[in-house]
Amino acid sequence: MAKCTICDKGVHFGIKMSHSHRRSNKQWKPNIKKVKAIVNGSPKRIHVCTQCLKSNKVTRAM
């Protein structure tokens, strides 16, 4: 699974519990997109989470 190159966000693990308290493993995956962005003055394709895109931490290349 890809990680965000800006904030290093990745998969989180935990335990899902049903109404009858049966436990099973669960993983939460971040919403990661592969975008073309300006890195060190040149456009590159990087993996970025949507929160970094929304908060303008990345300058997109058109």
- Return the residue matching tokens 């990661």: 32
Q: Please give the pLDDT value at position 1.
A: 73
Tally of domains in the chain: 1
Query: Alpha-carbon distance 35 to 57, whole Å?
Result: 13
Query: Alpha-carbon distance 33 to 18, whole Å?
Result: 31
Query: Alpha-carbon distance 46 to 32, whole Å?
Result: 10
Torsion sign across C-alpha atoms 60, 45, 27, 9: negative
Q: Tell me the per-residue pLDDT of 4-42, one tens digit each, with 9 for 90 and over.
A: 999 999 999 999 999 999 999 999 999 999 999 999 999
CATH number at residue 6: 2.30.170.40
Range of the domain at 6: 1-62
Q: Please give the pLDDT value at position 62.
A: 80
- Return the residue matching tokens 């436990």: 23
Look up the pTM and report it. Answer: 0.77
pLDDT top residue among 2 and 48:
48
Residues in the chain: 62
